[in-house]
Amino acid sequence: MRLIARLPVQDQVGSLVDSLRNIGFDRKDMIISDIGEEQKWNNPETAAEEMSFIKSERDGLWEIGTFAEGIKGLKGKQGIVVAVETPKHDADKVRAIMEQSGAVEIIQD
């Protein structure tokens, strides 16, 4: 299961990442993306020159967009999202850490 937290302030992201690392998650297992960071490209080649591609839920191979655009149910349009894959038995603990770190929205998918 994956939990996604939307935090309004960058300092809160650092706190969340540190807290998740303290309970055994690795930074490479987290996706962190700025919601407000909107970028437009004319073609895939231009995008490839300017950004690193990460795995996302996009349907098409050359569909380009921010990570947050692919999150169903995300209500807020500002802030930073932190996504982490977690076993079901740890979900309540991770959710509590996200809330304590200042998450204004938490989505489970």
Q: Which domains does the chain have, with CATH numbers?
A: 2-108 (3.30.70)
Tens-binned pLDDT, residue by residue, of the chain (109 aa): 999 999 998 889 999 999 999 999 999 889 888 886 555 656 666 655 554 444 445 455 555 566 666 677 777 778 889 999 999 999 999 999 999 999 999 999 8
Report the relative pairing of strands 2-7 and 105-108 from DSSP bridges. antiparallel
Alpha helices in 32-86 (DSSP H): 44-50
Model pTM score = 0.72
Q: Which residue has the tokens 């490479």?
A: 28
Structure confidence at residue 82 (pLDDT): 93
Q: Is the separation of the CB atoms in 85 and 30 below 8 Å?
A: no
The set of residues, in sequence order, having a beta carbon less than 8 Å from that of 90 and lying 6+ positions away, is 23
Instruction: Answer for the pair 30, 80: CB distance below 8 angstroms, yes or no.
Output: no
